[in-house]
């Protein structure tokens, strides 16, 4: 597949309802119809409760869409829950493989301490980092047994949030099965240079989330101690790729020249217009970059 063909979208903004997701068949059908109409051919895919992987794949196909890497979150900081968390990752990987996808994002669940004070690394703990890294590596090994690569997805509001934590987890798992699945927006909001992180771990990047950041809004959030919920819902710090301040072209060019992973657009809530408008703008902005226009593979 060409790079353009590996550009997918997370349907999050189409499915958010209040503080949760509406995963009813009716909402999924309407969302996928809009996503296809916006020009996408692939969707960040997580099998909804009550639906089999086969049924979900058929639903996507009915709209001309293919599955792209989805997301598994767990409490990797809880050593006594490790067996269940790893088994959950294995089951997610099995469903991912059944969909015909060979990569998944994997993350530490968010926590109340960092939801309340996001992006600054409150209550940093080297011991917790080691516990999470070991659990994530075990989960990655379980995913690999199902034929799926698990890629670490750092997330603001979780215990893997700031640069020291990201680098420590990747260092402790170096040489193992855990790969890297960065999100440009989350890295930048937590004070990192996404292009530098991608360059430093370019050989471990298996897939990438592309979102932009309203740095002025993010600066206000940090200065005022705003919660993650308000930062994303009220202040709308996330922006469509190309509609914020990040150097996404630089991030993309930091990837290996032969990178064959997925590029997943993710904007939790639209910065501009409706979810459909946001999806169109994101796709148009990215496909206008030389990284995609010059792709002749």
Please indicate, yes or no, if residue 93 is contained in any of the structural domains.
yes
Distance CA 266, CA 282 (A): 9
CATH assignment at residue 29 = 3.20.20.150
Q: What is the pLDDT of residue 18?
A: 77
For 39, the domain range is 4-292
pTM for the model stands at 0.97
Q: What local confidence, expressed as pLDDT, does residue 30 receive?
A: 98
Task: In whole angstroms, give the CA distance from residue 194 to residue 164.
Answer: 14
Q: Provide the pLDDT for residue 19.
A: 74
Domain count, the chain: 1
Radius of gyration of the CA atoms of the chain, in A:
18
Sign of CA dihedral 213, 214, 217, 223: positive
Q: What is the pLDDT of residue 280?
A: 98
Question: What is the reported pLDDT for 294?
Answer: 84
Mean pLDDT for back-to-back runs of 10 residues, the chain (297 residues): 96 90 96 98 96 97 98 98 98 98 98 98 98 98 98 98 98 98 98 98 98 98 97 96 98 97 97 97 98 77
**Closest of 178, 158, 171, 161 to residue 200, by C-alpha:** 171
pLDDT of residue 17: 84
207 alpha carbon, distance to own chain's centre: 9
240 found inside a domain: yes
φ, ψ at 71 (rounded to 5°): -140, 130
Q: What would the DSSP string read from start to end of the chain?
A: --TGGGEEE-THHHHEETTEE---HHHHHHHHHHHHHTT--EEE--PPTT--HHHHHHHHHHTT-EEE--EEEE-TT-GGGHHHHHHHHHHHHHHHHHHT--EEEEEEPB-HHHHHSTTS-TT--HHHHHHHHHHHHHHHHHHHHTT-EEEE---TTBSS-SHHHHHHHHHHTTTSS-EE--BHHHHHHTT--HHHHHHHTGGGB-EEEE-EE-HHHHHHHHHHT--HHHHHHTS--EE-TTSSS--HHHHHHHS-TT--SEEEE--SS-SSSSHHHHHHHHHHHHHTSHHHHT---
Per-residue pLDDT, 295: 74
- Look at residue 297 and tell me if it is in a domain: no
Q: Are strands 16-17 and 66-68 parallel, antiparallel or unpaired?
A: unpaired
């Amino acid at each position: 597949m060409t790079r353009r063909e590996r550009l997918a979208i997370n349907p999050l903004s189409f499915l958010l309802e209040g503080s949760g997701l509406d995963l009813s068949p009716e909402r999924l059908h309407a969302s996928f119809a809009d996503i296809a109409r916006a020009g996408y051919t692939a969707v960040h895919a997580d099998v909804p409760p009550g639906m089999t992987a086969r049924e979900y794949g058929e639903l996507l196909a009915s709209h001309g869409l293919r599955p792209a890497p989805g997301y598994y979150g767990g409490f990797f900081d809880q050593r006594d829950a490790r067996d269940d968390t790893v088994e959950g990752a294995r089951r997610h990987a099995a469903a991912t493989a059944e969909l015909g996808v060979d990569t998944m994002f994997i993350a530490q669940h968010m926590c109340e301490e960092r939801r309340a004070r996001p992006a600054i690394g409150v209550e940093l703990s080297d011991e917790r980092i080691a516990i999470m890294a070991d659990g994530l590596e075990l989960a990655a090994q379980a995913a690999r047994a199902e034929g799926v690569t698990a890629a670490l997805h750092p997330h603001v509001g979780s215990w893997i949030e700031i640069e020291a934590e990201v680098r420590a987890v990747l260092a402790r798992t170096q040489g193992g099965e855990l790969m890297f699945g960065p999100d440009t927006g989350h890295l930048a909001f937590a004070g990192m240079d996404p292009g530098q992180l991608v360059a430093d771990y370019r050989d471990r990047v298996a897939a990438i989330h592309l979102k932009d950041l309203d740095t002025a809004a993010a600066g206000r959030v940090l200065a005022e101690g705003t919660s993650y919920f308000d930062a994303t819902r009220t202040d709308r710090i996330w922006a469509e790729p190309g509609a914020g301040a990040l150097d996404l072209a630089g991030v993309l060019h930091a990837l290996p020249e032969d990178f064959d992973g997925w590029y997943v657009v993710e904007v939790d809530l639209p910065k501009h217009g409706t979810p459909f408008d946001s999806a169109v703008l994101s796709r148009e902005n990215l496909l206008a970059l030389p990284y995609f226009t010059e792709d002749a593979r």
